[in-house]
């Protein structure tokens, strides 16, 4: 059987580990006679631009698996029904029987459409989804490959900014965190807290509208207590009117998103509270950096790639691989599967019960859930 791998959506620091898993597992099955990668996802499929993955040196593949970004390239192209039919025609002409599609909820929607159209056209194609998103907003899986490493980056970044903020009191600092409409990543910055006055002092979730007056009041309260303040805010945060506080907005494949939210909030707070403010936006550095390694994320991404190949060989189609947390005191996972219909075009938001009702933060249950994924965020020592 000829197999094909395609990446879709924004890359992560571990997407190539999933690719490694696919290649490793495919080499173990004599039924798979060829394995190709589509250059730049669906665009590569449409163009018939494939890379022979079985001809790659295993040492090169292993080295690439530890690099961020997508070794094959990815795509955010929103395909029309005509383009999907053309893509199926290309795959059919190349003899492709297994398709491994790596991405988030929108990508799983595309994979679902491909699987349905192949069935309608009487084309025997097995389509398996490999989960990938830093936003952690896929249903049916405990978490997604790409989330833990990015969560670790932002937790470490806020910890380090907090140390700077402690050194020179008198400043309010906004840290803009990725995540779009889901607060999983901004919640993870709470792992930087070890002492009551550690950053982040305030965490805001895009699931909850934030009146500017409330933001001002809560910053003012922290500043009066500590003489400084660090705020972690998700890029998708909106005010009580559903607007991004007057920030510049860009339109993308997944809707509108503020381009300079933290900067805009810093300007508003500086004017409203007469305080010195600053904003930081790591942006795509958060999803592409490997400066803070997260071995668990890498291993689980690889595991998902391996499981996808096994599923296809077993005759499965129209399903995405999931990660299931095993019961017990020590952390471990196994893989499962779920139908595309359960995950396609659906956003799993941060649970309300994990937000701290007493303030802008999280409850211990979230930290207990996230800590095994992200790994320890060691505090910095202080002088007695």
Catalytic residues: 135
249 CB neighbour count, 10 Å cutoff: 15
Q: Which whole-number Å values give the CA distances from 251 to 60, 234, 248, 254, 259, in the listed order?
A: 37, 17, 10, 8, 10
CB 257 within 8 A of CB 237: no
Burial class of 257 by CB neighbour count within 10 A (0 to 12, 13 to 18, 19+): middle
Q: How far apart are CA 50 and CA 41, in angstroms?
A: 10
Of 247, 115, 136, the C-alpha closest to 181 is: 136
Q: Which residue has the tokens 């980056």?
A: 153
CB 321 within 8 A of CB 128: yes
Which residues partner with 257 through β-bridges?
Answer: 250
Pair of tokens at residue 19: 């690719």
Torsion from C-alpha of 343, 347, 348, 352, nearest 10 degrees:
-150
Checking DSSP bridges between strand 229-234 and strand 171-177, what pairing results, if any? parallel
């Amino acid at each position: 059987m000829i197999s094909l791998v395609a990446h879709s959506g924004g890359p992560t620091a571990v997407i190539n580990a999933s690719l490694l898993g696919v290649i490793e597992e495919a080499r173990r099955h004599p039924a798979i006679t060829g394995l190709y990668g589509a250059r730049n996802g669906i665009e590569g499929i449409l163009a018939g631009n494939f890379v022979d993955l079985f001809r790659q040196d295993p040492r090169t593949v292993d080295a690439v698996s530890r690099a961020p970004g997508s070794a094959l390239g990815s795509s955010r192209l929103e395909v029309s029904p005509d383009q999907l039919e053309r893509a199926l025609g290309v795959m059919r002409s190349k003899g492709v029987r297994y398709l491994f599609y790596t991405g988030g909820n929108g990508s799983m929607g595309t994979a679902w459409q491909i699987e349905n159209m192949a069935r309608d056209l009487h084309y025997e194609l097995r389509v398996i989804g490999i989960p990938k998103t830093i936003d952690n907003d896929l249903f049916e899986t405990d978490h997604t490959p790409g989330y833990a490493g990015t969560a670790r980056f932002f937790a470490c970044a806020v910890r380090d900014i907090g140390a700077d903020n402690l050194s020179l009191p008198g400043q309010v600092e906004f840290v803009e965190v990725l995540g779009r409409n889901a607060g999983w990543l901004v919640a993870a910055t709470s792992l930087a807290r070890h002492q009551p006055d550690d950053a982040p002092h305030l965490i805001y979730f895009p699931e909850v509208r934030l009146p500017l007056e409330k933001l001002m009041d809560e910053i003012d309260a922290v500043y009066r207590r500590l003489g400084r303040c660090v705020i972690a805010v998700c890029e998708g945060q909106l005010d009580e009117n559903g607007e991004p506080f007057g920030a510049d907005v860009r339109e993308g494949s997944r809707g509108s998103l503020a381009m300079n939210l933290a900067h805009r909030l810093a300007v508003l707070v500086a004017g409203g509270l007469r305080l010195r403010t600053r904003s930081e936006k790591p942006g795509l550095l958060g999803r592409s950096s490997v400066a803070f390694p997260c071995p668990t994320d890498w291993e689980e991404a690889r595991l998902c790639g391996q499981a996808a190949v096994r599923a296809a060989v077993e005759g499965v189609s129209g399903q995405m691989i999931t990660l299931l947390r095993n019961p017990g005191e020590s952390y471990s996972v196994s893989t499962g599967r779920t139908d595309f219909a359960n995950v396609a075009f659906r956003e799993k938001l941060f649970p309300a019960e994990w937000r701290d009702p007493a303030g802008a933060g999280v409850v211990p249950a979230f930290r207990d859930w996230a800590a095994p994924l992200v790994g320890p965020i060691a505090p910095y020592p202080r002088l007695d």
